[in-house]
Amino acid sequence: MNHSVLSKRDLHTTASSTNAQIEARRIAATPRGIGIGFPIYAQRAENAQLWDVEGRRYIDFGSGIAVLNVGHRHPRVLQAVQEQLQSFTHTAYQVVPYESSVALAERLNRLSPGPFVKKTAFFTTGAEAVENAIKIARCATGRPGVIALGGGFHGRTFMGMALTGKVAPYKTGFGPFPGSVFHVPAPVPLHGVTVADSLRAIEQRFKADIDASQVAAIILEPVQGEGGFHPAPSEFMRALRDVCDKHGILLIADEIQTGFARTGKLFAMEHYDVLADLMTIAKSLGGGLPLSGVIGRAEIMDAPAPGGLGGTYAGNPLAVAAAHAVLDVIEEEQLCARAEQLGQRLKAHLEHLRAQVPQIAEVRGPGSMVAVEFLQPDGQPDPAFAKQVQQRAEAAGLLLLTCGTYGNVVRFLFPLTIEEAVFEEGLAILSQALRG
């Protein structure tokens, strides 16, 4: 009987072998609210390449949305996870803890920017990290208010959606959202918003919406991810630090997409001469396994009482083992320097194409967190061209991700371990996709 059940189950997982067949099953079995970027189904992957169920090869310039800075299936990550599998896979850290998690917290406390004493708490997803950063900030300050930026993305949970500064598709139909969350425009010169504009908007919030003494935190991504890879100007980051210091507000840096060598530094906040009070981390920390965290000043992190933080899968031991390996790879393979080198080459490549591709309005981003934005001749966003470039690239075997408030930006998140030949091949396909 058991053999019969297993055989039938195996049939269900292997009967459909083409992308089109599995896509039809997906549509029938899963809700439409889970959007799919590419209707291709992965079978295997290696570093910066993956193959679908039909055997077609793709160069991956998306890295699972910035999760694979050390590439698909890095040998060091695989080895670390396999070794942990031989010991245990789960205890629930808050029931029976394990030394590897303590060691990872110690390591991140040392590596993260700031000379002050820090503590780190682990969770599972980036949204969980953001939720807990807000919990910690509210508990530490005794205040309810949070200010976030337009165009920012902080997750799909209710607080994450409330903080996210983009309605469609993330917030459409899901309200009402948690209160005491207020948005100000992000400084984006290309879109006509200056640093002074953003700072005036904060002061206006203090006058019209919430007293500064009731604001617990200001949260921002040092480089906006979903918003279009807009780096926060240094002038703006310094001004935010001054505003926070003046009013007793905590500054939260959402490093979920920017962290772990992506911007040419281990953390994007290292590009600035000010420090955040709390940082959220996730994505590439786990090398493909779900792991997130909050790093912050020790006295702030200690504000919640025992039991106030945690989660059943928070700091899973397999993911923690992977994270140690990821940090080893970043250091040993000098991925911060490689991110800077690859990013400069990509930006030079895109700038060289400007004369042939008039839709290119701006090439930007630190390290290998690079984006190209497309505008129409009248200066309006050109999402249709961005989509066209993405589709042409896919047809030629290159996976690209779009982003931006208007969907008119292509972002590049290739693994920092990408082989030279594969990187050059990807740039060649990109050139063809841009030229049409």
CB 361 within 8 A of CB 353: no
Q: How many CB atoms lie within 10 A of CB 162?
A: 23
- Read off the pLDDT of residues 125-150 as tens digits, 9 standing for 90 and up: 999 999 999 999 999 999 999 999 99
Instruction: Tell me the average pLDDT across 59-72.
Output: 98
> Does 301 have pLDDT greater than 80?
yes
Q: What is the pLDDT of residues 238-259, one digit of tens each?
A: 999 999 999 999 999 999 999 9
Domains and CATH numbers, the chain: 7-66+334-435 (3.90.1150.10), 78-332 (3.40.640.10)
* Alpha helix (H) residue ranges in 353-419: 383-395
**Confidence band (pLDDT; 50, 70, 90) for 15?**
low
d(CA 399, CA 191): 27
pLDDT value at 282 more than 60: yes
pLDDT of res. 16: 59
Residue pLDDT, tens place only, 146-190: 999 999 999 999 999 999 999 989 999 999 999 999 999 999 999
| Closest to 371 measured CA to CA, from 322, 397, 330, 405 | 405
Task: Give 3's pLDDT tier (boundaries 50, 70, 90).
Answer: very low
- Position 299 scores a pLDDT of 98
pLDDT for the residue 219: 98
Residue 271 binned pLDDT confidence (cut-offs 50, 70, 90): very high
Q: Report the DSSP pairing between strands 215-220 and 250-254.
A: parallel
> What tokens does 12 get?
């269900």
Q: Which residues contact 251 (CB under 8 A, 6 or more apart)?
A: 217, 218, 240, 241, 244, 274, 275, 276, 277, 278
Task: Please name every residue paired with 122 in a beta bridge, in sequence order, or none if there are none.
Answer: 293
Extract long-range pairs of 232-236: CB within 8 Å, 24+ residues apart.
232/186, 232/187, 232/272, 233/187, 233/195, 234/271, 234/272, 234/273, 235/195, 236/187, 236/195, 236/198, 236/199
Look-up: residue for tokens 């617990």?
216
Residue 412 β-bridge partners: 370
CA distances from 148 to 110, 127, 162, 404 (A): 28, 15, 9, 17
CB 314, CB 294: distance < 8 Å = no
Sign of CA dihedral 348, 354, 355, 361: negative
Confidence of residue 2 (pLDDT cuts 50, 70, 90): very low
| Mean model confidence pLDDT for the chain | 95
Q: To which H or E segment does residue 403 belong?
A: strand 401-403
Task: Please give the model's pTM, rounded to 2 decimal places.
Answer: 0.95
Lowest mean pLDDT among 10-14, 130-134, 389-393, 410-414: 10-14
Q: At residue 1, does pLDDT exceed 50?
A: no
What pLDDT, on a 0 to 100 scale, did the predictor assign at position 65?
96
What are the structure tokens assigned to 219, written together? 């949260």
Fill in the amino acid letter for 61.
F
Which string of DSSP letters, residue by residue, matches 61-90?
SSHHHHT-TT-BT-HHHHHHHHHHHTT-S-
Measured CA to CA, the distance from residue 403 to residue 61 in angstroms comes to: 14
pLDDT in tens, 305-331: 999 999 999 999 999 999 999 999 999
Note the pLDDT tens digit of each residue in 407-431.
999 999 999 999 999 999 999 999 9
Q: Give the model's confidence band at 17: pLDDT under 50 very low, under 70 low, under 90 confident, else very high.
A: confident
